Amino acid sequence: KRILVATKNKGKVQEFAHAFAALGIETASLLDYPGIPDIVEDGDTFAANAEIKARAIANTFSLPVLADDSGLCVDALEGAPGVYSARYAGEGASDADNNAKLQRELALRLGDGAGEALSRARFVSALVLYDPATGLRVQAEGEVGGVIVAEPRGSGGFGYDPYFLVPEFAKTMAELTLEEKNAVSHRGKALRALLAQLV
């Protein structure tokens, strides 16, 4: 059994590979197919963008495709960066650029002295599984609440993880193992909700 994850994001690839390995399912991703052009993700919602990615890639490959669109929504920033999470600091921005912009925006909004806990936030993941051979299409969403901290902690994960404190662990997402992150994350929850619809 094999599934193509429609992503070029190495962090997502690792998390899905780990979760599907436990189910005896092999994953491939767009990192295995260099040269696939970037997909224009112009939807207004995570779900709309996941749908766009799943369909675009399913039309190129005749394989079941799983797409993830995800991001960080920060209360004090009225839900930003949201669907713009990957390009918060501009097109092609690095994780470091995006995190720097997040800290700047929060400091502007909250002022200095906001302390360790800068703002409540949540990660959201929308998944679409689409099999062009059978027409099967399933979608699911997951989210996890947390707090944005001023100083990064941990070296795991990707993206905003070093700044996202998970209260029940008293650790940032980047301080969790892959297994722990999948157990609590927006992506892990969305995946379990998706799989529950397939049985």
- Structure-token pair, residue 84: 């713009």
Here's the x/- map for ligand ITT, 23-42, by CB under 6 A: it reads as ------------------x-
**Can you tell me the distance from the alpha carbon of 120 to that of 64, in angstroms, rounded to the nearest whole number?**
36
- Structure-token pair, residue 97: 């650029």
Residue from 161, 175, 176, 191 touching ligand ITT (CB under 6 A): that is 161
- Assess contact for 47 and 129: CB atoms under 8 A: no
132 or 146: CB nearest ligand ITT = 146
Residue indicated by tokens 């070296």: 155
- Pairing state between β 65-74 and 164-166: unpaired
Number of residues that bind ligand ITT (CB under 6 A): 22
Q: Which residue is nearest to ligand ITT (CB)?
A: 159
- Write out the catalytic residue numbers: 69
Q: Is 187 in the site for ligand ITT (CB under 6 A)?
A: yes
Q: Which residues are annotated as a binding site for substrate?
A: 7-12, 70, 158-161, 181, 186-187
- For residue 77, how many other CB atoms are within 10 A of its CB? 20
Q: Is 141 in the site for ligand ITT (CB under 6 A)?
A: no
Q: Is 8 in the site for ligand ITT (CB under 6 A)?
A: yes
**Region of 1-9, 54-62, 130-138, 145-153 interacting with ligand ITT (CB under 6 A):** 1-9
**Can you tell me the distance from the alpha carbon of 107 to that of 99, in angstroms, rounded to the nearest whole number?**
12
Q: Is 55 in the site for ligand ITT (CB under 6 A)?
A: no
Q: Is 138 exposed, middle or buried (0-12, 13-18, 19+ CB in 10 A)?
A: middle
Binding site for ligand ITT (CB under 6 A): 7-9, 12, 41, 68-72, 85-86, 98, 123, 157-161, 173, 185, 187
